[in-house]
Amino acid sequence: MVKIGVIVCDRNRTCTGNKCFKSIIERDGSFEKYPKDEPIEVVGWMVCGGCPGERLEAAPADMKKYGAEVIHLASCYLAGYPACPYIEDHRKYIETVVGLPVRVGTHPMPRNYLNGHERIGDWKRDEAEKWLGEITANQDDADKYDSTNPNFLRK
């Protein structure tokens, strides 16, 4: 069993986590690399606390106390306009100070966000594309996680 912690961008502090938890169950997005027969336990779910990351010093350390082996910075870090400018700072702090590996992303990036960011050009401008690999690799998943799609979250 792998134990994970998830940190959510404060802009999404009221998020229910449905897409993240669905992607854990389905092994979509950044969870695709985990073996399907290995359970994933979420030991912590916390918002970052707002820019520049007010909860960053406490949240990942608490998750580590409860057994977290890896921290996921949720896909909302990249979904917002613009993407979080502190991703690299958060990753570096967690890996260096807390001592846990960080994966950027959770659920696949929905098609409507892919299209919007492409039109705006902010991911390219802000060099956020380096974080998108695991959550943009499967185009079918982009449609499945798009809440504007009539087949939203259906198999």
pLDDT for residue 44: 96
pLDDT per residue over 11-40, tens digit each?
A: 988 888 999 999 999 999 999 999 999 999
pTM: 0.93
Position 35 in a domain: yes
Position 152 in a domain: no
pLDDT for residue 155: 56
Band the pLDDT of 145: cuts 50, 70, 90. Answer: confident
Q: What mean pLDDT is predicted for residues 122-133?
A: 92
Position 155 in a domain: no
H or E, element range at 2: strand 2-8
Position 118 in a domain: yes
The domain containing residue 98 runs over which residues? 2-144
Q: How far apart are CA 67 and CA 73, in angstroms?
A: 17
Backbone region of residue 50 per phi and psi (left: phi > 0; alpha: psi in -120 to 50; beta: other values): left
pLDDT per residue over 31-68, tens digit each?
A: 999 999 999 999 999 999 999 999 999 999 999 999 99
* Closest of 84, 119, 120 to residue 102, by C-alpha: 84
Position 25 in a domain: yes
CATH code, domain carrying 97: 3.40.50
* Closest of 92, 84, 108 to residue 29, by C-alpha: 108
Count of domains observed in the chain: 1
pLDDT for residue 78: 94
Position 154 in a domain: no
